[in-house]
Amino acid sequence: AEEVVAPPGVLEGWRHLDVAADLAARTGLPAYLANDATAACGAELQNNPRSAGQDWLYVFVGSFVGGGVVLNGALYQGRGRNAGAIGSTPVFVGGKVTQLIRHASLITLEKSVASAGLDPAILQRPDEDWSGLGSILGSWIDTSAQALATAVVAATSVIDFSRICIDGAIPRPVLRALVVAVKAR
């Protein structure tokens, strides 16, 4: 709520809404609920046959940063169905400890773009060229990479993932630059 500047309590109604049950009742079809990054991780797993038997961490950079976990080739959601939600991972950036979500999320980039007097609407179009964002984008990539690298090291200290998959709702050239920067860190 704080990140999207929502008034206190406005998001509370969503906590107890059973979307899967409501959708199943309306359609007569089975419905399953997963957070967006877990669902994206499941899609990556489904479309990536080389994942059989592997343990890996999936990171999705979107409005917020999140993730998913694959253990022994299967999507692991955890008891609370929120395994891999790495956005809350503590990271050390700019001389202080904050959460990953404050650095490697598009909402952070959006705030910087708007502060520079540019139109942040382009960030809603990941198939477009974002190079016009210039140094704002470069700075976001650098900071995001530092924070993501810290979170990845923390995650791999708990589970020896055989790979890390970084994806996102961002143009492929931006994603490639981010992955290269994370690897360098």
The pLDDT profile of the chain, 185 residues, written as one tens digit per residue, is: 666 667 777 778 777 788 889 999 999 999 988 888 988 998 898 888 666 678 999 999 999 999 999 999 999 999 988 899 999 999 999 899 999 999 999 999 999 999 999 999 999 999 999 999 999 999 999 999 999 999 999 999 999 999 999 999 999 999 999 999 999 99
Residue 172 and residue 128: Cα distance in Å, rounded? 10
How confident is the model at residue 49, as a pLDDT? Answer: 67
* CA 104 from centroid of its chain's CA atoms: 8
How confident is the model at residue 134, as a pLDDT? Answer: 94
How confident is the model at residue 46, as a pLDDT? Answer: 87
Q: Are 142 and 181 in contact (CB under 8 A)?
A: yes
* CA 27 from centroid of its chain's CA atoms: 29
How confident is the model at residue 94, as a pLDDT? Answer: 87
Instruction: Tell me the β-bridge partners of 67.
Output: 59
How confident is the model at residue 36, as a pLDDT? Answer: 85
How confident is the model at residue 12, as a pLDDT? Answer: 80
How confident is the model at residue 3, as a pLDDT? Answer: 62
Single out the residue of 117, 149, 150 nearest to residue 136, CA to CA. 117
How confident is the model at residue 17, as a pLDDT? Answer: 83
- Provide the token pair at 164: 């890390």
Indicate the residue type of 178. L
